[in-house]
Amino acid sequence: MNSNQSTRRQMLGLGVASVGALALTHAAKAQDATSANKMMAPSPSEAELLGAALLVEQVSAAYYAQVLGAQNARSYLAPNVVTAVTQMAQTKSAHVTAIGGALGNAMGGSPTFKFPQPAFVSAIGMPWLGFTLEEIAIGAHLSALDMITTRSLRPVVAGIIGANSAHAALLRNLCGTQFSPRYFEAKLTPAQVEMYISAYRA
């Protein structure tokens, strides 16, 4: 890997953290608006969409946390990749907090997840599974953004889509794929999200 590639990846990783912080800022404003005006609370259909969005952020947060745990036990990732994964893990935690706050913590506790072992021993397997999870997350959030009518929630979802797109681009690059396999990510319904994520439930 040359120095230009390394610098590009580090910059992408830093961009992920900044976009995630922006999403959390929007979330805090949304929570303030919701507290001030109960009319801003999500409708039942919006709650279902946000529940799917929360699930995909939870599974990604769990994945990056487990990757970092595996890295501590057996170093298999380059230092710049570890830095990027650390930043992505922090961003995902911010997303979980943001969406959970919008839902008023109505979704209960965090589920537990399991992932294929190659992701924790292979420098290629790790970003490939991460990219897959980010694609699912983007699809869930695209559906939410398309259907949510509560104005205070839309910038939260839009900011998270931006962060997840940055994650996907970085992980795809780490896999050695320079271009996206598709022009546009597909929107996913809550039922489709559950179907895809069920493979990773513990």
Please state, in angstroms and rounded to a whole number, the distance separating the CA atoms of residues 159 and 164: 9
Tally of structural domains, the chain: 1
The token duo for 118 is: 């190659």
Instruction: Of 151, 152, 153, 157, give the one whose Cα is nearest residue 187.
Output: 157
The model's pLDDT over 103-122, given as tens digits with 9 standing for 90+, comes to 875 555 778 999 999 999 99
Query: Which CATH number fits the domain that encloses residue 31?
Result: 1.20.1260.10
Res 47: pLDDT: 86
Res 22: pLDDT: 45
Please state, in angstroms and rounded to a whole number, the distance separating the CA atoms of residues 157 and 146: 10
Environment class of 44 (CB within 10 Å of its CB; exposed 0-12, middle 13-18, buried 19+): exposed
Res 179: pLDDT: 67
Q: Which amino acid is at 150?
A: T
What is the CB-side half-sphere exposure of residue 127 using CA atoms within 13 A?
A: 23
Query: Is-contact 154 102, C-beta < 8 A?
Result: no
**Global pTM value:** 0.78
Residue numbers of the domain that contains 141? 3-200
**Other beta carbons within 10 Å of 94:** 23
Q: How many helical (H) and strand (E) elements, i.e. helices and strands, does the chain have?
A: 6, 0
pLDDT beneath 50, residues of the chain:
1-40
